Structure 1
Amino acid sequence: MHVFTKPARWLAAAACGLLAAAVLPVGPASATPPGGGSPQIPGRYRHQQLDWQPCPGGSLECASMSVPRDWYHPDAGPSLTIAVSRHRAADPAKRRGVLMMAAGGPGASGLPRPARLASYSPKLADAYDIVGFDQRGVGASTRVVCSDQEKVDTIFGGGDLRDRSAAAVRQTFDRARDFVQDCKHNSGGLLPYITTDQAVHDMDLYRELLGVEKISYYGPSYASFLGAYYATEFPRRVERVVLDSNVDFTGDWQSFLRGQPMSFQRRFEQDFLPWLAKNDATYHQGSTPEEAKASYERLRAALHDRPLNVEGTVITPNHLDAAATDALYNADKFAGFASLLGFLEHPDQAPTETRKAVAAQLRHLMSADFVADFFAVTCGDTPWNRDGRYWAEESAEATRAHPLAGARELTYASVCANWPHSKTPRVKVTGEGLPPVLMLNSKDDPATYYEAAVRAHQGLAGSRLVTVEGGDHGQFQNRNACVDAHVEGYLLDGTLPAEDTGCPAAQR
């Protein structure tokens, strides 16, 4: 997620009777067949064989499958390619099924993820074939293409996104319209089909080609949204579902993303600045949170007045804010960002190797590949307000109240305000007809904030929420023994807490 969630490196059923909930058609192009699930799938898709081969440079097997561009009209338009991967169960005698996982973003690659999960949890690697994929629009699958990297760097890195002058606001809208025109021109009619709803049909074909009736699922960040949609549209195809660091999949992207400036600011002020002040002897940014915040603002103002050229990378206030938001995802990153603050204050005192490393780290705030898919999904999945005046006023307040991430709200929202109108079905997630779902979220998560996770939990009948102290993003695979025990206990034995419960923060 980064969902405002993660920039580049930095920076988420149709029902019948008692089944999950309804997919409400929006226009004839989105009509869902009676009874839910996929339309009739042509044999050329259903009868594919996955030709598994070793993935380059790793422990996984990789293959590719062909899917319809539009699942509601599978004979219309060219087919798309979805890259898939798997880690075979280490102990066939203990194998209990398939565990499918997906990546966050939207825009991140899921293809390598099974290797990391298998390494982290040998118990799960013994019991499951762990499978992953690059979602349509991403990575080794058919990709959506928007602006080139140079233009993306200008949109997200140029100037100062806190600038609320009429000229700056107008320029933001102009750049957004230009970006959307690039997306439409360069993607060859693909944009309407890079959505979560279309992706879950890809997932169900993948399940079928794997030869299993049901899958279990683990999804962090945006992948919680993807998993909730899959379970809703295919309730009879899921066995055990774990959703980690949750987007509010019961609502819409506009409402969810509007909440992120608050949660990034909260993590910055309640967690990072006190940590920085506590370590003033090392980083010299101030011995109180207030002094540390003042140091940050002084550095930011200096970059506003005179952007810093480091080995060819021009560092602006936007680069500083992006580095800060990236560091907030996990407390393990605090020290690296604190060191960066010191470097930016005295860059000439750093050795050449350090200067080159910082230049490479900060060169691109957002990768062109990432933002293309991010906006295709978040702008196309659910409706957006298209009133420019509304966004100018709303983003001005977000910038004033929560400047760290609020300053970028106008850039993000203006892209979606100009996005082509979508005929994507509205998916209503309720949890009806599903097995119990295990949900995980930390209290101070900056990207998938706790308030949204609680709303999603309340809207997902039968779910159990494990609340984790602290603010890291991503709870499982984060060296938290309490969380790991809940996840492994559920996926291996079906053990769930009797009611909502909690875990302490991960111990470092």
Structure 2
Amino acid sequence: MSTLTPARARRTPPRSRRVLAAVAGALALLAVTACSGDDERPRERGPGVESRPAEDSYPGLSEELAGQRLRWGPCEAPTPLQGEGTAPGEEWQCSTLTVPLDWDQPDGGTIDLALIRSRTTASAEDRVGSLVFNFGGPGGSGVLSLPQFGTEYQELREGGFDLVSFDPRGVGDSAPVTCLDDATTDAEAQEPGGPPENAAEEREFTRENEEYYAACEANAGELLPHVTTANTARDMDLLRHALGDDRLHYFGISYGTQLGGVYAHLFPERVGRTVLDAVVDPTPDRLAQTRLDLEGFQLALDHYLQHCVEFERQDCPIGSDAEAGNGLLADLVEQLEETPAPTSDPNGRRLTADLAMTGIIASLYSEESWEYLTQGLQELFWTSTGDTLLLLADFYNGRDAQGRYSNQNAALTAIRCADDPSGMSIAELREYREEFMETSPLFGEWMVWGLSGCEGWPVPADQTERPRYAAEDAAEPILLVANTGDPATPYAGAGRMQEAMGGPEVAPLLTYHGEGHSAYTTGDTCVVNTVNAHLLEGTVPQDGHTCGE
């Protein structure tokens, strides 16, 4: 069996009775920060990299912030809020960037953002600039993610890019949003789960959401209105400025595509070579979004079930009927609502229905993870134990071996609600339960509760900022990359993002016919070569180009 590797990025998973309040999701990728060292700025400049542009201006921003120089030094091991991991190797350097807490009042309070980079191995003449990454979530620490996935981008580093990433505001080691402590999170994950089934459970659902939101407000109150994607895009432009690049070269995955789209809207003249892989749907309609998510995960599950019966054969725990597998899994999760499965966890934790659903979701992000789903289902069906799905759920939820949680779920909730505080009442979402169940016997009853959105979030709507994507004046074309089998950011969303940004001339679309979340890291030669040519050479593929057929 291959080694379990991090999922690329994720959006919101199905909501259970309790973790619905936490909006469980985002990914556990994480790493490090805090550094000291010589005051340093790249002095060698090749084609496409100019000195700090004179036209940059930040009205109201102090000279101290606008002119700050990044101090790079050795990276430490990740903090618990960033996630589990070790200090990266010597080729990695860390720093911090200071940004305004409130970009509408840039002379007010500030926060520090954790940064990481690996310098290009190319000559000074061949250096292109910095390539900034966001790996998704929202809530994933880029400071840990980039070293973890660094080998996959080695050709870009060798070709002329300094690889750079950061913990966005509210995430990891960048003014992190926190809500519940580790012990409470563990305890609530062990409570009986499943979607509310009667009025009493609906009231309990509402009460727990209110308590969770109150805890977020108590622990991170003044930060909550300011963790919008738009503010992170503004932070990213100041990062570009501090790195010394005239334009932002950017690689965004999953939620990182949303961030990249917002950046292109706010700073079209500063758009450099940009790739948005696993493109999110920009539709502001929560019902449409949740329907798309449901269809995406059901499609991925159908593909897994068909693979299981065709290739696993006698080892496939659902038998030989892929279609019947949907009902078998739904029945299995329903049984776990009443009787959680035992595990070998040293603290006696059991696999609840909530955790089983999270583990199943986690395994669908990559075709390489299907074997873990098979193993987990074999354990449940054949031995009534839940070790593998618990491991997958812990990984997805950012829980390490010591029982410490990253802040990815709290950050996901805060960022999502800062971007869009809307949500349906319980009475409204009930209307869609039957429709969702018909679409997916396993996911439907759970995901309909995602329609409650941010109902009751303590930040008023007039203090939030919804993302916008129109970027007709972008200085360079923005390459969109979409996977037809993507469960978390279904393929249809890429077409809508293309339209929102201004059409194929602004944002040509590269289609990959495959499985899993994102396309570049599948290793498909066609995808990798097309993306690398765009980033390293400025070669823009024709809209409609396809790979993997």
Structure 1 residues 188 and 10, CA, compared in 2 at 3 Å: closer, same or farther? closer
Match of 1:436, as an amino acid?
Answer: P
Would the aligned equivalents of 1:445 and 1:472 in 2 still touch at CA under 8 Å? Answer: yes
Stretch deviating more after TM superposition (168-177 or 360-369): 360-369
- Equivalent position SS for 1:313: coil
What is the correspondence of 1:380-395 to structure 2 with a 5 Å cutoff? 380-395=418-433
Which residue matches 1:340? Answer: 376
| Other-structure match for 1:421 | 460
Cα 1:296–1:411 shift into 2, 3 Å: closer
**Which residue number in structure 1 is paired with residue 177 of structure 2?**
144
State whether residues 363 and 369 of structure 2, in contact with CA within 8 Å, keep that contact through their aligned partners in structure 1.
Answer: yes
1:500: how far off? 1.4
Mapping of residues 295-310 of structure 1, within 5 Å:
295-310=328-343
Q: 1:7 aligns with which of 9, 25, 40?
A: 25
**Deviation (angstroms), 1:496:** 1.8
Q: Let me know the Cα RMSD of the aligned residues.
A: 2.7
CA distance, structure 2, for counterparts of residue 432 and residue 453 of structure 1: 17
Mean Cα deviation higher: 405-414 or 143-152: 405-414
Query: Does the aligned pair in 2 maintain the 1:164–1:396 contact within 8 Å?
Result: no
1:486 aligned counterpart, secondary structure: helix
Superposition deviation, residue 261 in structure 1 = 1.4
Distance (Å, rounded) in 1 between the aligned partners of 2:441 and 2:227:
31
Measured against aligned partners, the alpha-carbon deviations of 1:229-256 in whole angstroms (never above 9, x if no partner) come to 1111111212111000011236466642
Contact 1:464 1:500 survives alignment (8 Å): yes
Distance 2:466 2:331 in 1: 46
Cα distance in 2 for residues equivalent to 1:36 and 1:156: 48
- Check conservation: 2:421, 2:453, Cα contact below 8 A: no
Residue identity (%): 28
Matches within 5 A, 1:340-489: 340-347=376-383, 359-362=390-393, 366-367=397-398, 369-395=407-433, 397-399=435-437, 401-409=439-447, 411-414=449-452, 416-419=454-457, 420-422=459-461, 423-434=463-474, 435-461=476-502, 462=505, 463-489=507-533
Aligned counterpart, 1:282 = 315
Structure 2 equivalent of residue 18 of structure 1 = none
Q: How many residues of Structure 1 are paired with residues of Structure 2 in the alignment?
A: 475
* Residue aligning to 2:542: 498
Corresponding position of 2:48: none
Deviation at 1:54, TM superposition (A): 1.7
Q: Which SS does the other structure have where 1:129 is aligned?
A: strand
Q: SS at the partner of 1:99?
A: strand
- Equivalents in 1 of 2:305, 2:391: separation in Å? 26
Contact kept? 1:65, 1:82, Cα under 8 Å: yes
Gaps of 5+ in 1: 12-34
Q: Name the residue aligned to 2:63.
A: 43
- After superposing the two structures, state which structure 1 stretch, 388-397 or 260-269, moved more: 388-397
Q: What SS is found at the alignment partner of 2:246?
A: coil
Stretch moving more, 121-130 or 385-394: 385-394
- Taking structure 2 as the reference length, what is the TM-score of the superposition? 0.80
1:258 deviates by: 4.4
User: How far does residue 425 in structure 1 lie from its aligned partner after superposition?
Assistant: 3.3
CA offsets, 1:75-94, max 9 Å, x none? 33x32110011111111332
Q: 1:328 aligned to 2:353?
A: no
Match of 1:326, SS? helix
Structure 1 residue aligned with 2:137, among 105, 111, 117?
Answer: 105
Contact 2:281 / 2:497 at 8 angstroms: preserved in 1? Answer: yes
Contact 2:113 2:175 (C-alpha < 8 Å) held by counterparts = yes
The separation in 2 between residues aligned to 1:205 and 1:307, in whole angstroms, is 49
Distance 1:253 1:69, change over 3 A: farther
Q: SS of the residue aligned with 1:81?
A: strand
| 1:263 correspondence with 2:269 | no
Letter in 1 for 2:464: T
d(CA) in 2 for partners of 1:397, 1:172? 21
Residue in 2 that maps onto 1:189: 222
Structure-2 separation of matches of 1:376 and 1:182: 12
In structure 2, relative to structure 1, the CA distance for the partners of 1:166 and 1:38 (3 Å cut) is farther
Assess if the C-alpha contact under 8 Å between 1:3 and 1:106 holds in 2: yes
Which residue of 2 is the match for residue 242 of structure 1?
Answer: 275
C-alpha offsets along residues 132-167 of structure 1, whole Å, 9 cap, x if unaligned? Answer: 000011112110111234444566664342443222
In the superposition, the TM-score normalised over structure 1's length comes to: 0.86
1:90 to 121, 139, 158: 121
User: Offset of 1:457 from its aligned partner?
Assistant: 1.5
SS in 2 for 1:246: coil
Deviation at 1:52, TM superposition (A): 0.3
Separation in 2, partners of 1:86, 1:252: 37
Is the partner of 1:449 in helix, strand or coil?
A: coil
**Hey, what does 2:36 align to over in structure 1?**
none
Residue 114 of structure 2 contacts residue 174 of structure 2 at CA under 8 Å; is this kept in 1? yes
Residue 101 of structure 2 corresponds to which residue in structure 1? 69
Q: Is the 8 A contact 2:418 2:465 kept in 1?
A: no
Task: Provide the rounded CA distance (Å) in 2 between the counterparts of 1:439 and 1:358.
Answer: 33
User: Which digits, 9 at most, give the CA deviation of each residue in 1:251-296, with x for residues without a partner?
Assistant: 4666424421121112112x11101111122234211203433442
| d(CA) in 1 for partners of 2:147, 2:394 | 29
Cα pair 2:419 2:467 within 8 Å, conserved: no
Which moved further from structure 2: 194-203 or 163-172? Answer: 163-172
Partner of 2:257: 224
Indicate which of 68, 72, 79 corresponds to 2:110: 79
1:408 and 1:295 map into 2 onto residues whose CA distance is 16
